[in-house]
Structure 1
Amino acid sequence: MDTSLHNLAQARARLLNEVIADLCSGTNGATFVSLPAAEPADGATHNGQSPLQHQFWARQLAPPLIALLATRPEPYLPRQGQAVYSAKAELARQKAVDQLEVTSAAADKRLMRIVELA
């Protein structure tokens, strides 16, 4: 791998991590996990990413997510024979999405800056 290209990718990753950490610090309920740039890998798809890169990020994200989920109350789980897509489950999903406040974040200047840097 080209070391200078990887160094550039790591520098970009550090910058994005700083911006996203700042954004998360001002958002109630947001958890930030710093991610380094993944090494290029064989099998890249049309967007330049490979399954190995996604596996790399999953391994970075899994431990903090497991720890975070362990502190949360158990989610609504359907009983055996009950439809997974019940009205109660759908309302719980809608409420979870609303709590993320992702629809109001689209106009956030900080979020737009992240998109510009990506």
Structure 2
Amino acid sequence: MMKEIRTPNAPAAIGPYSQAIAATGTAVYVSGQLPIDPKTGKAPEGIEAQTHQSLENVKAILTEARYTLQDVVQATVLLADINDFAAMNKVYGEYFNGICPARAAFQVAALPTGAKVEIGVTAVK
């Protein structure tokens, strides 16, 4: 069983994908979240602010699905510049502590809307 998760507290999908999908009643797969503020439609400046916004968007979607960041078991972080890794990692650490999710982080050629970061997660209850 699949259920689409949608919230106005994170940016709407800008293509043929969902903000998130809950599957089999125990897992939710959150699409990569760009650092777009859903209230303004714009991304903040700088990798730290963009990482915060991407993770706030992830958190909003998880909340809509009745999950929390503590339910996240895997995260994927896409960076426009791998040199931003340390700054992203510092902010990321503010959101995940204790047993942290498995994670992959890597540089990509470019991200939509000129973003510096995109973060997607899988959460399981």
**Common fold, TM-score beyond 0.5?**
no
Q: TM-score, normalised by structure 1?
A: 0.27
Looking at secondary structure, tell me which structure has more strand per residue: 2
Q: TM-score, normalised by structure 2?
A: 0.26
Find the structure with the greater CA-based Rg. Answer: 1
Q: Which has the higher contact order (CA 8 A, sep 6+)?
A: 2
